[in-house]
Every structure is written in structure tokens, then in C-alpha cells.
Structure 1
Amino acid sequence: MQQRSADAPEAVRHRRQSERPRGLAARAGRWLKAWSWLNLRLASSSQEWLRRHFTPAGQGVLAATFAAGLFGLDTRLTAAHQAFAFGLVLLGVAWLGTLVPLAKLRSHRRPPSRAAVGAPCRYKVEVANTGGRIARGLTLHERLPDPRPSRAAFVDTRAPVEATLNPFERLLGYPRWEWLIRQTRRAEAPAPVQLPDLAPGSVAELTLALTPTRRGWLTLDALVLGRVDPLGLMRRERVVAASARCLVLPKRYPTPQLRPPGRRRLQPGGIEQTSSVGDSREFIGLRDYLPGDSPRHIHWAAWARCGEPVVKEYRDEFFSRQALVLDTCPAAGADPVRFETAVSAAASLIAPLGEQPNGPDGLLDLLLYAEGTRVLTAGRGLMSTAAMLEVLACVEPQPAAAFTHLAETVSSRAARQSACLCVLLHWDDARRGLVARLRRSGLAVTVLVVNEQGEQDDPAAAGGAFIAVDARDPAPALARLSPDWSLHGAHRAA
């Protein structure tokens, strides 16, 4: 024991020495990533400054002038200094042209309240000339938010493409920079729109268009008025309208009109119970009081008229109620495209399921986990399917362990559902168990699993209709849904 105690500090010392290089390597790697981020940030800032102040022709003249200045340092050997001087004169004249003040304009944009990913979003902009001279040669465009990643995001994030790169490319970090910009860019930059000539006091209405690329809130930083100098080399810009924003809904794919299977189920409390607390079954009439009736059901006005106790009579309600379960708990390190495809698939199914399924009294429940299990119900007098899409527009990935809470909620509500359609991110033991429990409760369950190319899932284990949805192209899989929730060409459980 004494020998072991004496050797213990020595073992600890050796272990710390072996771990020290690894810690130094990690710190050096983070420092190099931060250095790469700083260089890429500076290069991107310079590129953005050139884009705002120079036209493409002006950028070409600027580059040629700079190159001529480098090669023309010795005026006795080359004549490049003459090209350098000529370029400086052109840029100087162009700069003087940008000093002319822009016309006084007042603008008012009317951005839409909602847009959709991948669909062109057009809106009107009203421009009025409030100055005393004619406004000529002006353009108008929207300035979008800066998509460049922060230092923390660049250092801590690993792009999927980095697995195929060599160490030098990973060290430079440019592929990671491009990948992060694509992830944070929310819309394609629209081209400037040419303004017509505006006389003093005149008003013009223009149509601007942009295409959102990500769901969620899209912020329009500013509406910018611009003008190019007479030589067409430099630009002058001015912000004429403050920021605005609109909600971008998830991308939706064509799906057939669905008639969910399953029979009507007893709904304790009726339709009102879905949005309120308490027993509120359907009222059908009055009858005489019988021993054992609840005093809460006494109709006092009828008792006063008849002189005898009268109670209200109710009956239980049976109607169709479908469940759409969205898995929002991806595994650690999963490709974000998989999650976005699952959200788009659920959004594509909401409209076909929510348009009065199985009659005017049918209800649609959307179950998902978003900082807690949420159950959203659409139907008569309740939430609309458009409101459901707005919720899906802002949902974010949740911890993988949170799927247990979602599964418990779905299982506890199985007795009230007529059918269930599950959009899952993986096909593991936890999700197999959920589908099996739903099948044992008598539900007609259809399973859509979003997977990557090359992944193999076991359709026989789904316990019902099963289809694999390609994360890169979900449209063919969604089109295979038939109106009765069966799947054309899909796997069926034995």
C-alpha cells in the first residue's frame, strides 16, 4: 500500500505531462481558427466596401490602376506609370461625380407579413420626390442582414464538408466560412431597381422582389437609394427607409389531398374541451331531475318556471382527430439539412390534413417539442393551419434527449386520436418504441423517416406504412402518399 501511495503522485505527473501537449495543440488550433476568421472577416469587409462604392467597371479600373502603380515604380524601365496616372484621373473624376447630392426622396415600403422559402416575395414601394429638382438616374434596392459568422461560431462550428478536406484547407477555414454564410443568409440579394425620372412633387410606385432562403424572421436592414457617377465607375448610396421584417414560412412540397384513416373517437368534453378546461359535452335538451344528478347541471330558469327541478342533458361527442407528430430532436452532429427537411415535410402535410379532415368537426393536432412539449390543435373555432405554419417557421432543433418527453405526450393522447402521421429524424430504438405503442393502441400509424443518402432503415419494424424521405429531395416521397394515407410503392409491415 505504501509503495502504491508513493507511486500515485508520479503516475499523476506523467499523465499530466501526456495531456499537456494535447491541450496546447487544442489551444493552438483555436488560435489559428481565430486568425483565419480575422483574415476572412477583413477580406469580406473590403469586398463589401468595394461593392457598395464601386461598380464592376470601377473595380476593374481600380485593380488595373493598383497593378500599374506596382509595375511602374521605376519610370525609366516601363511606361506603366502612365496607365497609373490615367487610372487615378478616371477615379478622381468619378469621385467628384459622387459628391453631387442625391435628390430628396421619401419612400414607404409595404413588405408582406408572410413569405415562403424558395418562393419570390414581391412587395410595393412608394417613392415621392419632395425636393425642388428632377430626380434622374437613381436606383433602389434592399440591404439584407450581414450573413458573416461571428468569431465564436467560426471557431466552434465544424462544417460537414471539412471531413473531405486536407489539413491545410481546414486550417485556412474558407470552406467553413462559405458554409456558415450559406447557413446564415436568409434571402438572395435582390438586384437594384431603376427609378423613373421623378419631377418635383411626383410619386412613383415600384415593385421589389426577393427570394427567402431560410425560414424564420427575415429582417430587411434598410431601403437604399443609389446613383452611379457619369463615368459609371463609382456609386453613392443613402438609406431612405428604416428596417422592416416579415415571417418566412417553411418550404412546402406538393402533396395529395388526404383522407386520414381510423374511426371516430370519444372526445371527453367535446370540441370546446380542446381549447378550455372543464367538462363541456354537447348540450341536447332538458329533463326532470333524477337522484344522483350533479347540482351543476340544474337549469335554474326552467325550475323557476315549472316549479320542479330540471337538469340539462348532455351526450358524449365522437369525431375524427388526427395527430401529426414532428420530431424536433436531431442527434448530436446531425446535418442541419435533415432537420429543415423534416420541418418542410410537416408543413407540407398541415394544409391537406387541416382542411376539415373527415367532416367539419374533424381536428388536427400538431405535436412537437420546442422548449417543452407543445400540442397545437386546428379545427372549428380553434387554431388555423396558417398559425401552425407560423409556429413551424420559428422552431429550432432541440436536445436529443428531449424526444422522450415528446414520446410520452404522444402516447398519453393515443386514446383520443383517430390516426397518426409521424415525421421522424431517425429510426432508432426510442422511435421504434413510440410507433409500436401507438400501433398497440389501435391507431393507424404512418411513418416518414428523413434520412441521408445511403442510410438503410428497416420498414418491417415500423408496424405500419413506412417510407424513407430523402433529406435532399423530399418531394418524391411526399408525392407517394395516397389519399387514404397508404403509400404508393411504400413498404408495408407484415
Structure 2
Amino acid sequence: MLSRALAVTRTGSRVVTSTGRGVLLLGVVAYAGSLVWGLVELRLVAVMCLGVLIAAVPWLLVPMRVEADLRLRPPRTTAGEAVEASLTATNHGALPLWQPLVRIPVGTRETWVRMPSLDRGSRQRVEVVVDDLARGVLQVGPATAVRSDPLGLLHRPVRWGAARELFVRPAMVVVPTLGAGQVRDLEGTPSDRVSMSDLAFHALREYVPGDDLRHVHWRSSARAGELLVRQYHDTRRNHATVVVDADPAAYPSVEAFELAASVAASLLMCAAREEYDVSLACGDVQLTALPAPAVLDGTCRIDPAPGAAPLSEQVATAMVLAPETSVLLLVTGRGTDPEAVTRATVTLPADTRVVVVRAAPGETAGVLRHHGHDAVTVGLLGELPGLMAAAS
């Protein structure tokens, strides 16, 4: 019983506005004063305060039947850019709505807009521009209309429509290439693995029961006097995997991790433009075998993860996620031990190209060759295109 009474009290406190609470307090004080001093005028003031509060109740009870649709243009944007939220409302109720006040939440921010009056059956649209957005997946909406009486004593929020997800990707730059020596080959690049069916011919060998007769080389078999079958190099498409170090210790500041996220997104965009298959790994965000835009959306969700696995385990997990990786792009911060990077990359296949990018705001940019891989230091995002072009 007590909990129910408390719940009713909390609900009532949300319905009564600050103005309404002031009127209620005035009525209580006036009534108390009338009892103490016996003044009829104070009792009249108390009755008037109670009367206006009771008169405000019917305004909240009238049903509001509104069909609302919230749209975002564009549905994806980059950090620091603006997005336009368009709210279309149609009044299906029996009564007109006079300039409803609508709240549109965008992440942790709130935007208030006063809509034009909605007559019965009419439709109105308002547009709100929200700028200076931070990276992440933001929930926009649901829009909430505030139903109130003319004096603003009581109000009741009414939900209009559903919420939308806004993907705010990191700031990006156009990286022309992932480095010199990368071949854009739609048919794949031959590897050292031998296969019985592929595109790159390797050699002939003796027939073994169970081999596919379609691979028998009949002319050579006739000359040798025994069945010979073709062997091939196993080929694979170029596949770029971006691993972002999830250890918070690697990044001394929020800006350092945001730079790392921007570097990762820029490299993913470059790989997709060069028609690579792409994968992304950072903590719990593990994406592969998806269209490039979906993988790029993953950069909206990455964050440092306290208790993250050592860097070597993160790289090993990424290789399990995408074993066909031909280019591994490891993005970390200035707080990562170089020996940890070496341990993470030393066991990778010899035919996998490795580029380690250190996101270190304020440090001097540069490219070094270290333990068989390229080590790139990025102090500013704008330096990334030239550094990747210089990487061997």
C-alpha cells in the first residue's frame, strides 16, 4: 500500500508543473492562514487555487490521436557534422491541437520545437538541424508532445512515433592507397598453399584414387604412360582486416582514441574503395563477411574496453575471425609497448602484409620498417594519406 502511494505521488509530481506547484503551495498557505487568522479572503484565495487546478485536469484527459513519422537526413553522418531531423505529424483526433510543444531527444541532448497548429485531419511538418555531433550510435526520438492546460499548471507527455538510430562515424580523410606494392586483382592473388581446383596452375603429379578426373592432363598422361593430374596454387581475394587496440592504457586521452577510430575508419574506407573484402575487430565489435558500409558503421560502436585481452590475443582473435586476411592494419596508441606489438605480429603468416599505425596526437609523423612490418606514427589525421603512400 505504501509503495503504491509513493508511485502515485511520483506520478503526480511529474504531472504538476512548477507553476502548478506554486499555485498549490499558495492555496495551502492561504487556507492555513484563514484558519489561523479567520480571514475569509484567504479562504477564497485557497478555493480559487484549488478551482484552477481542478479546471486544468480535463485538458489532460482529452485523447491525443496523432500519427507521427520521424526521419533523419542523412541517416549516417560523421563526427562534427550536422543532421536534419524531420517530424511529420497528422492529427486523427476529434479536436484540433494548438501549437503543440514537442521534445526530440538526440542522444543525451534534447531539442524543443513548437509545431504549427494541427486541425482535425491536417498534417504539418517541422525540421530541426542538430550539429556538432559526437561519434557513436545515437538514439533520436521518440518525439514527445507535451499536453498542457492554457495556464501551464499541469502537463502530460505523449509519445509520438518511434525512435531512430543515427550512426555518427568518426571523422575521416581520403587515403588514396594502403601502400605501395598492393595489387588490385579481382581474381585473387596466388598463395603458397596448393589446391586441387583454382585459377593459378602449379604443377602435375601422379593420379591418386579419388582425384577428380576433370583435372587429368590427358596429353601429358599419354606421354608419361600414367595418369597425371593438375595441381594449382590456392588463390584468395585481397582482404584487409583492421584491428583497433581496445586496451585503455594504449590511449592517454579521449582525443587519442578518437584519432585511432578516425584512422581505422579512413583505412576501412580506402580498402573498400580498392575492392578489398574488409573486417573490423575492436573488443566486442567483431565484424566480417558484411558489406563495407556495415563494417564502417562498426567504427561508431568501438570504445576502449577495461580488462581487454593483450594485444597478441586481440590479433589472434582477428585472424580467427578473418583467416583469409592478406593485409592486417593494426591501430594502437602511444601507450602500447613496442615489444607487445612485436609479439602480436611475429606469428602472422609470411604472406600477410602488416602495417602498425600508432595514433599519437602531437607526435612527429613518420614511417619506419620494424621487425618485418611498417610502423606508421600519426600525429594528425590529415597526415595519414601521405604516410600510407610512403609505406612500402
Letter in 2 for 1:192: V
Aligned mate of 1:227, from 135, 143, 147: 147
Q: Which residue of 1 is the match for residue 249 of structure 2?
A: 331
Q: Deviations over 1:358-410 (max 9, x none)?
A: xx4x4444344438xx573xxxxx53221112333344525233423124467
Kept in 2, the 8 Å contact 1:122–1:209? The answer is yes
TM-score, normalised with respect to structure 1: 0.53
Q: Which residue of 1 is the match for residue 179 of structure 2?
A: 261
CA RMSD in angstroms, aligned pairs only: 5.7
Deviates more, 1:84-93 or 1:319-328: 84-93
Q: How much has 1:102 moved relative to structure 2?
A: 3.7
Matched residue SS, 1:485: helix
Q: Deviations over 1:29-64 (max 9, x none)?
A: xxxxxxxxxxxxx9xx98x9878753xxxx368569
Letter in 2 for 1:96: A
Q: How much has 1:95 moved relative to structure 2?
A: 5.9
Change (3 A) 1:257 1:340: closer
Q: Which residue of 2 is the match for residue 141 of structure 1?
A: 103
Kept in 1, the 8 Å contact 2:197–2:231? The answer is no
Q: Which residue of 1 is the match for residue 69 of structure 2?
A: 109
Kept in 1, the 8 Å contact 2:147–2:155? The answer is yes
Matched residue SS, 1:480: helix
Structure with the higher helix share, 1 or 2:
1
Q: Which residue of 2 is the match for residue 478 of structure 1?
A: 381
Letter in 2 for 1:480: E
Change (3 A) 1:329 1:90: same
Aligned mate of 1:132, from 94, 119, 127: 94
Structure with the higher strand share, 1 or 2:
2
> Structure 2: how far apart are the matches of 1:270 and 1:71?
87
Letter in 2 for 1:292: E
Kept in 2, the 8 Å contact 1:322–1:419? The answer is yes
Q: Which residue of 1 is the match for residue 56 of structure 2?
A: 97
Letter in 1 for 2:110: A
Q: How much has 1:444 moved relative to structure 2?
A: 6.3
- Determine if the alignment matches structure 1 residue 449 to structure 2 residue 359: yes
> Structure 1: how far apart are the matches of 2:148 and 2:190?
63
Q: How much has 1:485 moved relative to structure 2?
A: 0.9
Q: How much has 1:214 moved relative to structure 2?
A: 5.9
> Structure 2: how far apart are the matches of 1:438 and 1:301?
37
> Structure 1: how far apart are the matches of 2:63 and 2:23?
32
Q: Please give the residue correspondences for 1:53-452 in structure 2 after superposition, counting only pairs within 5 Å.
A: 53-54=16-17, 59=18, 89=48, 93=52, 96-100=55-59, 101-102=61-62, 104-111=64-71, 114-116=75-77, 119-142=81-104, 144=105, 186-199=107-120, 201-207=121-127, 213=134, 215-216=136-137, 218=139, 220=141, 222-232=142-152, 234-241=154-161, 243-246=162-165, 248-264=166-182, 270=188, 279=195, 282-283=198-199, 291-293=205-207, 295-299=210-214, 314=232, 317=235, 320-331=238-249, 339=257, 341-356=259-274, 360=275, 362-370=276-284, 374=286, 376=288, 383-395=290-302, 397=305, 399-408=307-316, 417-418=326-327, 420=329, 422-424=331-333, 426-434=335-343, 437=346, 443=353, 445-450=355-360
Matched residue SS, 2:311: helix
Q: Deviations over 1:222-243 (max 9, x none)?
A: 44232343234543333344x5
Letter in 2 for 1:186: G
Kept in 2, the 8 Å contact 1:186–1:214? The answer is no
> Structure 1: how far apart are the matches of 2:122 and 2:217?
70
Letter in 1 for 2:96: I
Q: Deviations over 1:123-170 (max 9, x none)?
A: 55443333333332323334x5xxxxxxxxxxxxxxxxxxxxxxxxxx
Q: Deviations over 1:204-223 (max 9, x none)?
A: 44446667656246374x44
Change (3 A) 1:410 1:333: closer
Q: How much has 1:350 moved relative to structure 2?
A: 2.0
Q: Report the count of equivalent residues.
A: 362
> Structure 2: how far apart are the matches of 1:341 and 1:89?
62
> Structure 1: how far apart are the matches of 2:96 and 2:81?
36
Q: How much has 1:457 moved relative to structure 2?
A: 9.6
Change (3 A) 1:186 1:321: same
> Structure 1: how far apart are the matches of 2:389 and 2:46?
70
> Structure 1: how far apart are the matches of 2:46 and 2:267?
60
> Structure 2: how far apart are the matches of 1:438 and 1:300?
35
Kept in 2, the 8 Å contact 1:419–1:443? The answer is yes
Aligned residues with identical type, % of pairs: 15
TM-score, normalised with respect to structure 2: 0.64
> Structure 2: how far apart are the matches of 1:282 and 1:368?
33
Kept in 2, the 8 Å contact 1:122–1:210? The answer is yes
> Structure 1: how far apart are the matches of 2:173 and 2:43?
62
Kept in 2, the 8 Å contact 1:115–1:249? The answer is yes
Matched residue SS, 2:269: helix
Q: How much has 1:327 moved relative to structure 2?
A: 0.7
Matched residue SS, 2:173: coil
Change (3 A) 1:235 1:257: same
Kept in 2, the 8 Å contact 1:128–1:203? The answer is yes
Kept in 2, the 8 Å contact 1:342–1:424? The answer is yes
Letter in 2 for 1:406: Q
Change (3 A) 1:133 1:351: same
Q: Deviations over 1:75-109 (max 9, x none)?
A: 9xxxxxx9999799578536623522445423142
Matched residue SS, 1:400: coil
Kept in 1, the 8 Å contact 2:331–2:358? The answer is yes
Unaligned runs of 5+ in 2: 1-5, 35-40, 219-225
Change (3 A) 1:261 1:49: farther
